[in-house]
Amino acid sequence: MSWLSVAGVLGTISVIAGAFGAHGLRETVTPERLAAWHTASHYALIHSAALLALALYASATGRSVTLPASLFTAGVALFSGSIFGLVLFEARILGPVTPIGGLLLIAGWASLLWLARSVAAP
């Protein structure tokens, strides 16, 4: 699957999750859990857009974006996915997964520094 496709899948899921949170969960979960859901869908959408930018960059330059794209994808799956599970199923076992996903998202952004450094090198 191409990074453009991954961006499309994550973007689609993000919008569906945001709409479900706004309309389907409002009456069934606490405000705190709804806020967590909003954060998860927001982070997923932001990183979907970042993946889209990476895919377009890779297409235009032929450069590999595998490291940051992989880190963003795994980070969204673990960060947002664990929060979705916590909110929907109260699966407390997922609690420790959330910060791991957050660290992967941070690593994805940090890996962009490495990519930018290699682009700027003569």
Residue pair 3/58 in contact by the 8 Å Cβ criterion: yes
Q: Which helix (H) or strand (E) holds 2?
A: none
List, for residues 87-104, the tens digit of each pLDDT value. Answer: 999 999 999 999 999 999
As a whole number of angstroms, the distance between CA 17 and CA 84 comes to 9
What confidence tier does 119 reach under pLDDT thresholds 50, 70, 90? confident
**Per the domain annotation, does 33 fall within a domain?**
yes
**Per the domain annotation, does 62 fall within a domain?**
yes
Question: Considering just the CA atoms, what is the radius of gyration of the chain in Å?
Answer: 16
86 is in which domain, residue-wise? 3-116
The reported pLDDT for the residue numbered 15 is: 98
Enumerate the H helices of 20-95 as residue ranges.
31-61, 66-89
**Per the domain annotation, does 50 fall within a domain?**
yes
The reported pLDDT for the residue numbered 18 is: 97
CA distances from 80 to 31, 42, 60, 62, 113 (A): 17, 9, 29, 30, 24
**Per the domain annotation, does 21 fall within a domain?**
yes
Residue pair 68/112 in contact by the 8 Å Cβ criterion: yes
Q: Above 70 in pLDDT, residue 28?
A: yes
| More confident: 117 or 101 | 101
The reported pLDDT for the residue numbered 7 is: 98
| Domains held by the chain: number | 1
Question: Cα torsion at 77, 83, 84, 86 (round to 10°)?
Answer: 130
